Chain A
Amino acid sequence: MAEKIMKFSVARYRPETDSEPHFQDFEVPYIHETSLLEALNYIKDNLEPELSFRWSCRMAVCGSCAMMVNGVPKLACKTFLRDYDPNKVMKIEPLANFPIERDLVVDISDFIEKLERIKPYIIPAEKDKNKPLTEGYLQTPQQMEMYRQFAQCINCGICYAACPQYKLNKDFIGPAALTLLYRYNIDSRDAGARERMKIMSQDEGVWSCTFVGYCSQVCPKHVDPAQAIQLGKKASAIDYVIKMFKPGEE
Chain B
Amino acid sequence: MDIVKADVAIVGAGGTGLRAAIAVAEQDPSLKIALISKVYPMRSHTVAAEGGAAGVVGADDSLEKHFEDTVAGGDWLCEQDVVDYFVAHTTEELFQLEHWGCPWSRKPNGEVNVRRFGGMKVPRTWFAADKSGFHMLHTLFQTSIKYPSIKRFDEHFVLDLLEEDGQIKGVVTYDIQNGVCRTIIAKSVILATGGAGRAYSFNTNGGIVTGDGMALAYRHGVPLRDMEFVQYHPTGLLGCGVLMTEGCRGEGGILVNKNGYRYLQDYGLGPETPVGQPKNKYMELGPRDRVSQAFWNEQQKGNTIKLPLGDAVYLDLRHLGADYLHERLPLICELAMAYAGVDPAKDPVPIRPVVHYTMGGIETDGKTATSKPGLYAAGECASVGIHGANRLGSNSLVETIVFGKVAGDEAAKYSKTVKFGNEDNLVKQAEAAVLKATKLFDGKGAESCSKIRHEMGDSMEEGIGIYRVEETMQKTIDTLADLRKRYKNIKIKDTQGRVFNTEFLNAIELGYTLEVAECMAHSAINRKESRGSHQRLDGPNGAYKERDDKNFLKHTLATYNGDDAPSISYSDVKITRFQPAKRVYGAEAEEAEKQKKAMEGNK
Binding site for B on A (CB under 8 A): 1, 14-17, 32-33, 35, 44-46, 49-50, 52-64, 78, 80, 101-103, 105, 107-108, 112, 115-116, 119-122, 124, 128, 131, 133-141, 143-144, 147-148, 151-152, 154-155, 180, 184, 187, 189-190
Does A121 contact B142, Cβ atoms closer than 8 Å?
Answer: yes
Task: Confirm or deny: B283 has a beta carbon within 8 angstroms of a beta carbon on chain A.
Answer: no
Does B43 contact A56, Cβ atoms closer than 8 Å?
Answer: yes
Does A136 contact B95, Cβ atoms closer than 8 Å?
Answer: yes
How far apart are A73's CB and chain B's nearest CB, in angstroms? 17
Q: How does the 8 Å CB contact mask read for B41-69 relative to A, with 1 for contact and 0 for none? A: 01111011000000000000000000000
CA distance A135 to B142 in the complex (A): 22
Does A50 contact B108, Cβ atoms closer than 8 Å?
Answer: no
How far apart are A102's CB and chain B's nearest CB, in angstroms? 4
How far apart are B50's CB and chain A's nearest CB, in angstroms? 9
CA distance A180 to B138 in the complex (A): 11
- Given the interface pairs A56-B43, A62-B47, A120-B145, the reply to whether A136 lies near B239 with Cβ below 8 Å is no
Does B99 contact A50, Cβ atoms closer than 8 Å?
Answer: no
How far apart are B46's CB and chain A's nearest CB, in angstroms? 10
Does B240 contact A33, Cβ atoms closer than 8 Å?
Answer: yes
- Given the interface pairs A78-B338, A103-B500, A140-B110, the reply to whether A131 lies near B99 with Cβ below 8 Å is yes
Q: Which 5 A-B pairs give the minimum distances between C-beta atoms?
A: A138-B110, A56-B206, A45-B450, A133-B92, A120-B142
- Given the interface pairs A16-B499, A63-B43, A64-B39, the reply to whether A189 lies near B99 with Cβ below 8 Å is yes
Q: How does the 8 Å CB contact mask read for B137-151 relative to A, with 1 for contact and 0 for none? A: 010001101100000
Does B335 contact A59, Cβ atoms closer than 8 Å?
Answer: yes
Does B496 contact A57, Cβ atoms closer than 8 Å?
Answer: no
Indicate which residue in A61, A78, A119 contacts B47 across the interface (CB closer than 8 Å): A61
When distances are taken between beta carbons in the complex, the residues of chain B under 8 Å from A128 are 99
When distances are taken between beta carbons in the complex, the residues of chain A under 8 Å from B240 are 33, 58
How far apart are B89's CB and chain A's nearest CB, in angstroms? 10
Some 23 contacts from A to B, beta carbons below 8 A apart, are A1-B308, A14-B496, A16-B496, A33-B340, A49-B450, A49-B503, A50-B493, A50-B494, A52-B497, A52-B503, A56-B39, A57-B47, A59-B339, A60-B334, A61-B134, A64-B39, A112-B154, A133-B96, A135-B95, A136-B95, A140-B110, A144-B103, A155-B138
Binding site for A on B (CB under 8 A): 39-40, 42-45, 47-48, 91-93, 95-96, 98-101, 103-112, 131, 134-135, 138, 142-143, 145-146, 154, 177, 179, 206-208, 239-240, 242-243, 308-309, 331, 334-335, 338-341, 448-450, 454, 492-494, 496-503
Does A122 contact B99, Cβ atoms closer than 8 Å?
Answer: yes
CA distance A57 to B43 in the complex (A): 8
Find the B residue at minimum CB distance from A82: B341
CA distance A231 to B212 in the complex (A): 44
When distances are taken between beta carbons in the complex, the residues of chain A under 8 Å from B106 are 139-141, 144
Find the B residue at minimum CB distance from A46: B450
- Identify the interface centre among A103, A119, A136: most chain B CB within 10 Å of its CB: A136
CA distance A58 to B334 in the complex (A): 13
Does A57 contact B206, Cβ atoms closer than 8 Å?
Answer: yes
CA distance A105 to B500 in the complex (A): 8
Indicate which residue in A52, A115, A133 contacts B502 across the interface (CB closer than 8 Å): A52
When distances are taken between beta carbons in the complex, the residues of chain B under 8 Å from A49 are 448-450, 492-494, 503
CA distance A151 to B109 in the complex (A): 21
When distances are taken between beta carbons in the complex, the residues of chain A under 8 Å from B239 are 33
Does A184 contact B503, Cβ atoms closer than 8 Å?
Answer: no
Indicate which residue in B48, B104, B207, B498 contacts A55 across the interface (CB closer than 8 Å): B207
- Identify the interface centre among A56, A80, A141: most chain B CB within 10 Å of its CB: A56
- Identify the interface centre among A57, A121, A135, A180: most chain B CB within 10 Å of its CB: A57
Does A56 contact B207, Cβ atoms closer than 8 Å?
Answer: yes
When distances are taken between beta carbons in the complex, the residues of chain A under 8 Å from B340 are 33
- Given the interface pairs A61-B131, A101-B177, A151-B103, the reply to whether A14 lies near B497 with Cβ below 8 Å is yes
When distances are taken between beta carbons in the complex, the residues of chain A under 8 Å from B103 are 144, 147-148, 151
When distances are taken between beta carbons in the complex, the residues of chain B under 8 Å from A134 are 91-92, 95
Does A124 contact B497, Cβ atoms closer than 8 Å?
Answer: no
Does A57 contact B449, Cβ atoms closer than 8 Å?
Answer: no
How far apart are B70's CB and chain A's nearest CB, in angstroms? 21
How far apart are A84's CB and chain B's nearest CB, in angstroms? 15
Find the B residue at minimum CB distance from A124: B99
Does A59 contact B39, Cβ atoms closer than 8 Å?
Answer: no
Find the A residue at minimum CB distance from B334: A60
Interface of A is mostly: loop
Find the B residue at minimum CB distance from A104: B500
Question: Apart from A16-B498, A57-B43, what 11 extra A-B contacts exist at CB < 8 Å?
Answer: A50-B494, A56-B208, A58-B206, A58-B207, A62-B39, A120-B145, A121-B142, A121-B143, A122-B100, A131-B99, A144-B106
CA distance A134 to B478 in the complex (A): 53
Does A52 contact B501, Cβ atoms closer than 8 Å?
Answer: yes
Find the B residue at minimum CB distance from A103: B500
Find the A residue at minimum CB distance from B101: A122
CA distance A222 to B12 in the complex (A): 29
Find the B residue at minimum CB distance from A112: B40
Does A154 contact B42, Cβ atoms closer than 8 Å?
Answer: yes
When distances are taken between beta carbons in the complex, the residues of chain A under 8 Å from B341 are 32-33
Indicate which residue in A50, A59, A122, A124 contacts B242 across the interface (CB closer than 8 Å): A59
Does B48 contact A107, Cβ atoms closer than 8 Å?
Answer: no
CA distance A58 to B104 in the complex (A): 24
Does B496 contact A17, Cβ atoms closer than 8 Å?
Answer: yes
- Given the interface pairs A1-B308, A45-B450, A101-B500, the reply to whether A121 lies near B101 with Cβ below 8 Å is yes
When distances are taken between beta carbons in the complex, the residues of chain B under 8 Å from A53 are 502
Indicate which residue in A55, A61, A62, A136 contacts B112 across the interface (CB closer than 8 Å): A136
Find the A residue at minimum CB distance from B44: A62
When distances are taken between beta carbons in the complex, the residues of chain B under 8 Å from A45 are 450, 454
Indicate which residue in B48, B243, B503 contacts A50 across the interface (CB closer than 8 Å): B503
How far apart are B307's CB and chain A's nearest CB, in angstroms? 11
Does A64 contact B43, Cβ atoms closer than 8 Å?
Answer: yes
When distances are taken between beta carbons in the complex, the residues of chain A under 8 Å from B339 are 33, 35, 59
CA distance A120 to B146 in the complex (A): 8
Does B500 contact A137, Cβ atoms closer than 8 Å?
Answer: no
CA distance A184 to B338 in the complex (A): 30
When distances are taken between beta carbons in the complex, the residues of chain A under 8 Å from B206 are 56-58, 62
When distances are taken between beta carbons in the complex, the residues of chain B under 8 Å from A78 are 338
When distances are taken between beta carbons in the complex, the residues of chain A under 8 Å from B42 are 62-63, 154-155
When distances are taken between beta carbons in the complex, the residues of chain B under 8 Å from A133 are 91-93, 95-96, 99
CA distance A230 to B220 in the complex (A): 55
Does A107 contact B109, Cβ atoms closer than 8 Å?
Answer: no
When distances are taken between beta carbons in the complex, the residues of chain A under 8 Å from B179 are 16
Does A62 contact B497, Cβ atoms closer than 8 Å?
Answer: no
- Given the interface pairs A61-B134, A78-B338, the reply to whether A139 lies near B110 with Cβ below 8 Å is yes
CA distance A1 to B309 in the complex (A): 10
How far apart are B97's CB and chain A's nearest CB, in angstroms? 9
When distances are taken between beta carbons in the complex, the residues of chain A under 8 Å from B43 are 54, 56-57, 62-64
When distances are taken between beta carbons in the complex, the residues of chain A under 8 Å from B207 are 55-56, 58
Does B499 contact A101, Cβ atoms closer than 8 Å?
Answer: yes
How far apart are B518's CB and chain A's nearest CB, in angstroms? 22
CA distance A154 to B47 in the complex (A): 9
How far apart are B99's CB and chain A's nearest CB, in angstroms? 6
When distances are taken between beta carbons in the complex, the residues of chain B under 8 Å from A105 are 500
When distances are taken between beta carbons in the complex, the residues of chain B under 8 Å from A50 are 493-494, 497, 503
CA distance A155 to B141 in the complex (A): 12
Find the B residue at minimum CB distance from A53: B502
When distances are taken between beta carbons in the complex, the residues of chain B under 8 Å from A101 are 177, 499-500
